[in-house]
């Protein structure tokens, strides 16, 4: 079955096509929304440009510790927003929030800098779009949820698989319809490679505030391989591919199957193939089991060797008693158990409708439709007082499970999680490690302190 045939013959397809063809612009605003971006790298700019496409906004401030990056972003914004104004730039997000008082704040920093700006933006009265994973450690995530609720802010997480047209289409066509049957096993995997090492440490350029870049994280000397774009290979700043890639597809699995907290999380792996003398210090191998009792969700990461899934190097496979469903950001395949023909649908692209996606070379064309819809949902929900599709609590659950997978791997034992208490059951050492030590003078937030 071709996508054209499917869209012509099913209600879910008709809805997907209508969503693609209908203008996304959220024009019901009295005046442009005052927007600020904290973190002007790859996905920070991508998020901002997609927000500009779906809502009337005035960008009132940009913040980044890299002066060259923030000034270049300001030039680009001036060509994108309706007013053609070049927004003011800042090196400290606290000054931006105090001076500009934005209504919406986008947080597109490296992972170790998600928490503090998000909480301060909520305190300043802004609604927030924060990239995933929401936090570096578990208690940060708890504090972020507490801040959103205390200050009554709308907070959307960049888990845009929840807004991906072909993925939602697959959910309706195979999960909700019952066509896949009973599902007891889910495989999430990444077979992407990883870098072998960074260059040697050196003096940061004068245009980069490395002290502020490291911020509350454990200190790591600057090297030109980390910034920009490769900070995910530095454990001080990220949770590796588990926090980057697993979280996306684990989150969509939870959405598909209406799952919240697993009964337990067990993980093995580590740096098994990379030279242990390398200054890249994130794991290259991991297998994690998220045990939901009658549903077993497994994450497999192997950044070396042969890729067994050429069409799905990063993907999720749901096994039902009536068939198998493979999903990725590029496509999905349904393979019926009865030997019928495989049904494949490719991701929607909107480059003709939004040619500026192509002009911004860093845009992931396959992800742009999802990102726009996630932004539109965010804008609409903040106006209507509703919880967005990727609400901060959903981001907290998915992020925490991934962090706990890493913690289980590091401790060498299974962890039982009490979601209501926000603690590991009967494991004092694991609970102590739910909070990382912040580097002075930064203070680690807690749900009580926000």
Q: What is the pLDDT of residue 18?
A: 39
The pLDDT tens digits of the residues spanning 282-328 come to 999 999 999 999 999 999 999 999 999 999 999 999 999 999 999 99
Task: Compute the distance between CA of residue 170 and CA of residue 347 in angstroms, rounded to an integer.
Answer: 11
Q: Is residue 333 part of a domain?
A: yes
pLDDT band at residue 25 under the 50/70/90 scheme: low
Q: Is residue 4 part of a domain?
A: no
pLDDT band at residue 362 under the 50/70/90 scheme: confident
Q: Is residue 342 part of a domain?
A: yes
Cβ-contact 269, 240 below 8 angstroms: no
Q: Is residue 283 part of a domain?
A: yes
Q: What share of the chain is helix, strand, coil (3-state, %, to 5)?
A: 35, 20, 45
3-class secondary-structure state, position 251:
helix
Helical ranges in 385-420 per DSSP H: 392-411
Tell how strand 296-302 and strand 183-190 pair up: parallel
Task: Compute the distance between CA of residue 414 and CA of residue 336 in angstroms, rounded to an integer.
Answer: 35
What whole-number percentage of the chain has pLDDT above 90?
87
pLDDT band at residue 148 under the 50/70/90 scheme: very high
Q: Decide which of 8 and 379 is more confident.
A: 379
pTM exceeds 0.85, yes or no? yes
Question: The domain containing residue 207 runs over which residues?
Answer: 179-356+401-432
The pLDDT tens digits of the residues spanning 398-434 come to 999 999 999 999 999 999 999 999 999 999 999 999 9
Report the first-to-last Cα separation within the chain, whole angstroms: 53
Task: Compute the distance between CA of residue 327 and CA of residue 316 in angstroms, rounded to an integer.
Answer: 5
Helical ranges in 223-299 per DSSP H: 240-241, 247-257
Q: Is residue 381 part of a domain?
A: no
CATH classification of the domain holding 295: 3.30.360.10
Does 395 score more than 50 pLDDT?
A: yes
DSSP label of 391: B
Task: Compute the distance between CA of residue 91 and CA of residue 212 in angstroms, rounded to an integer.
Answer: 9
Q: Is residue 380 part of a domain?
A: no
Which strand (E) or helix (H) includes residue 121?
helix 115-123
Paired tokens of 245: 């890639």
Distance of CA 42 to the CA centre of its chain: 13
Task: Compute the distance between CA of residue 317 and CA of residue 312 in angstroms, rounded to an integer.
Answer: 9
Does 7 score more than 50 pLDDT?
A: no
Task: Compute the distance between CA of residue 152 and CA of residue 145 in angstroms, rounded to an integer.
Answer: 10
Q: Which of 242, 254, 321, 227 is nearest to 288 (CA)?
A: 242
Q: What is the pLDDT of residue 361?
A: 76
Which residue, chain included where needed, has tokens 């807690």?
Answer: 446
Written as one string, the DSSP assignment of 149-175 is HHTT--EEES-GGGG-HHHHHHIIIII
Q: Residue-wise over 152-169: b if at least 16 C-beta within 10 A, else e? A: ebbbbbbbbbbbbbbbbb
3-class secondary-structure state, position 103:
coil
Q: Is residue 115 part of a domain?
A: no
Task: Compute the distance between CA of residue 104 and CA of residue 154 in angstroms, rounded to an integer.
Answer: 9
Task: State how many domains the chain has.
Answer: 1
Tell how strand 323-327 and strand 331-336 pair up: antiparallel
Written as one string, the DSSP assignment of 309-358 is -TT-SEEEEEEETTEEEEE-SSEEEEEETTS---EEEEPP--TTT-THHH
Q: Is residue 314 part of a domain?
A: yes
The pLDDT tens digits of the residues spanning 343-354 come to 999 998 999 999
């Amino acid at each position: 079955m071709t996508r054209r045939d499917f869209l012509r013959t099913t209600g879910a397809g008709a809805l997907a096509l209508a969503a693609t063809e209908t203008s996304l612009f959220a024009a019901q605003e009295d005046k442009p929304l005052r927007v600020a971006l904290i973190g002007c790298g790859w996905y920070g700019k991508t998020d901002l440009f997609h927000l500009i496409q779906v809502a009337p906004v005035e960008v009132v401030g940009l913040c980044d510790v890299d002066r060259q990056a923030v000034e270049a972003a300001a030039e680009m914004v001036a060509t994108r927003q309706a007013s053609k104004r070049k927004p003011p730039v800042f090196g400290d997000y606290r000054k931006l929030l105090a001076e500009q008082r934005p209504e919406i704040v986008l947080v597109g920093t490296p992972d170790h800098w998600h928490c503090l700006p998000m909480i301060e933006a909520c305190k300043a009265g802004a609604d927030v779009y924060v990239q995933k994973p929401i936090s570096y450690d578990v208690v940060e995530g708890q504090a972020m949820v507490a801040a959103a609720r205390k200050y009554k802010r709308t907070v959307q997480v960049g888990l845009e698989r929840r807004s991906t047209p072909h993925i939602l289409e697959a959910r309706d066509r195979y999960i909700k319809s019952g066509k896949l049957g009973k599902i007891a096993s889910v495989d999430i995997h990444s077979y992407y490679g990883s870098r072998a090492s960074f260059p040697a440490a050196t003096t940061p350029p004068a245009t980069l505030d490395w002290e502020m870049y490291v911020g509350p994280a454990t200190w790591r000397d600057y090297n030109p391989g980390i910034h920009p774009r490769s900070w995910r290979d530095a454990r001080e700043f990220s949770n590796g591919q588990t926090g980057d890639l697993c979280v996306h597809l684990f989150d969509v699995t939870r959405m598909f199957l209406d799952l919240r907290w697993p009964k337990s999380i067990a993980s093995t792996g580590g740096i098994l193939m990379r030279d242990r003398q390398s200054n890249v210090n994130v794991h290259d191998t991991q297998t994690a089991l998220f045990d939901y009792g009658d549903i077993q969700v497994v994450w497999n990461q192997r950044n070396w060797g042969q890729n067994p899934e050429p069409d799905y190097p990063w993907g999720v496979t749901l096994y039902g008693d009536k068939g198998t469903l493979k999903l990725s950001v590029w496509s999905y395949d349904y393979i019926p158990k009865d030997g019928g023909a495989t049904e494949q649908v490719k991701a929607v692209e909107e480059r003709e409708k939004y040619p500026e996606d192509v002009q911004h070379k860093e845009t992931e064309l396959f992800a742009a439709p999802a990102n726009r819809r996630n932004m539109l949902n965010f804008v609409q929900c903040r106006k209507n007082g509703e919880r967005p599709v990727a609400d901060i609590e959903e981001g907290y659950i998915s992020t925490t499970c991934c962090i706990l997978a890493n913690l289980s791997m590091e401790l060498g034992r299974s962890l039982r999680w009490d979601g209501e208490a926000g603690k590991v059951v009967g494991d004092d050492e694991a609970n102590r490690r739910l909070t990382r030590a912040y580097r002075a003078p930064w203070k680690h937030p807690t749900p009580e302190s926000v």
